[in-house]
Amino acid sequence: MRIELDIKLGFKNVMIRPKRSTLKSRADVSLERTFKFLHAKKGWTGIPVMAANMDTTGTFEMATALAEHKMFTAIHKHYSIEQWKAFLDAAEESITEHIAVSTGTGSADMEKLNELMNQFPQLRFICIDVANGYSEHFVKFVKKVREKYPDKVIIAGNVVTGEMVEELLLAGADIIKVGIGPGSVCTTRLKTGVGFPQLSAIIECADAAHGLGGQIISDGGCKSPGDVAKAFGGGADFVMLGGMFSGHKESGGELVEEDGEKFKTFYGMSSETAMEKYSGGVAEYRASEGKTVKVPYRGPVEDTVQDILGGVRSTCTYVGAKKLKELTKRTTFIRVQEQLNEMFSE
């Protein structure tokens, strides 16, 4: 046994120190970024906030709404080829700049991925997503996908430490998804005791990725626009959101009405709900690692998008970052014991 004694931080443990700035208005801030990738030839420009590849947030409807803002959606892996065809036939051509195909690492996953890529070669992004990105099998799978698809942008995760970020980038990934256990409907930390406070994971993993010319996605743990800003401030190139995009018109999940109030269900992809839906129940040797919750219905995602982007633009003016790209360089975090005045919150 070994113990690391330096403190690892989550979003709630810090605030961003304001700095002198020449920016006159939040309208002067650009949130667009342009990336070149480590392996894939063609780069990308857009606002690097993305919907998670959960079946409640990574929907075609969400992708259509977010693409309006040049934001991104990791489409969940449970759509059929026919559903993909119908979507791509009806969508604008540029949608492929703003979506990723998600896949697991089983042999059936590989077959489905190949079929999708054969039929729709215009798709540019592949998100290889497993709960535990530390397995040798996962690294081999990433290598195999890179060999087969030299031109595609490969996202791989999830991991939370620098050495595994490096290994996956060297195996062929362009972008590493970072986060184990921070999710709003995640119970991994409770069930397994494994995890890493998200802000420190971002800082460590961004450093490793940027050293090799790769990028990272901060995945999970953002509860507010301020957390999204802190993730970018810590060095995340992209920020992925589940809970913050749940409960909307474009979200998946059942719409239910109780005593005149509307809710949408939201659940982890490793919850009993998801396992009942897609694998006929929880296998006997494992535990569910996700929760199912009811989220008050919030209507179209457009308002939430404005709220998030407005918040991050405001952060940028507080520290004098004219472009999102400058935010990390201009961020000094201060460790804090308190965040909010809770006088009027229940």
Ligand X SMILES: NC(=O)C1=CN([C@@H]2O[C@H](COP(=O)(O)OP(=O)(O)OC[C@H]3O[C@@H](n4cnc5c(N)ncnc54)[C@H](OP(=O)(O)O)[C@@H]3O)[C@@H](O)[C@H]2O)C=CC1
Ligand Y SMILES: Nc1nc2c(ncn2[C@@H]2O[C@H](COP(=O)(O)O)[C@@H](O)[C@H]2O)c(=O)[nH]1
Query: What does the binding site for ligand X look like in residue numbers (CB under 6 A)?
Result: 104-105, 129-132, 135, 158, 179-181, 183, 186, 188, 220, 269-270, 286, 289
Within 94-133, which residues bind K ion (CB under 5 A)?
Answer: 129
Using the rule CB under 6 A, is 271 a contact of ligand Y? yes
Token representation of residue 343 = 């006088």
- 183 interacts with ligand Y by CB under 6 A: yes
Catalytic positions: 186
Binding-site entries for K(+)? 181, 183
Compute the radius of gyration of the chain from its Cα atoms. 19
Identify which of residues 73 and 188 has a Cβ nearer to ligand Y in the complex. 188
Phi, psi of 177 (to 5 degrees): -90, 125
Binding flag, residue 58, ligand Y (CB under 6 A): no
Q: How far is the CB of 74 from K ion (least distance, A)?
A: 7
Nearer to ligand X, 130 or 324 (CB): 130
Rounded Cα gap, residues 315 and 326, in angstroms? 11
Q: CA dihedral in degrees (21, 29, 239, 128; nearest 10)? A: -130
Q: SS3 of 102, please?
A: strand
The correct pick among 133, 197, 243, 247 for binding ligand Y (CB under 6 A) is 243
**Distances in whole angstroms, Cα of residue 170 to Cα of each of 19, 167, 218, 235:** 37, 5, 19, 20
Among 221, 225, 233, 253, binds ligand Y (CB under 6 A): 221
Closest by alpha carbon to 302, among 339, 262, 249? 249
Chosen from K ion, ligand Y, ligand X, none, partner binding at 130 (C-beta under 5 to 8 Å by type): ligand X
Contact of residue 64 among K ion, ligand X, ligand Y, none (CB under 5-8 Å per partner type): none
Which is it for the CA torsion 302, 305, 310, 313, positive or negative? negative
Closest-CA residue to 65 (of 312, 311, 304, 323): 304
In this complex, which beta carbon is closest to ligand Y, that of residue 122 or of residue 132? 132
Q: Which residues are annotated as a binding site?
A: 108-131, 181, 183, 216-239
Considering the complex, state which of residue 129 and residue 204 has its C-beta at the smaller distance from K ion: 129
Residue numbers at the binding site for K ion (CB under 5 A) = 129
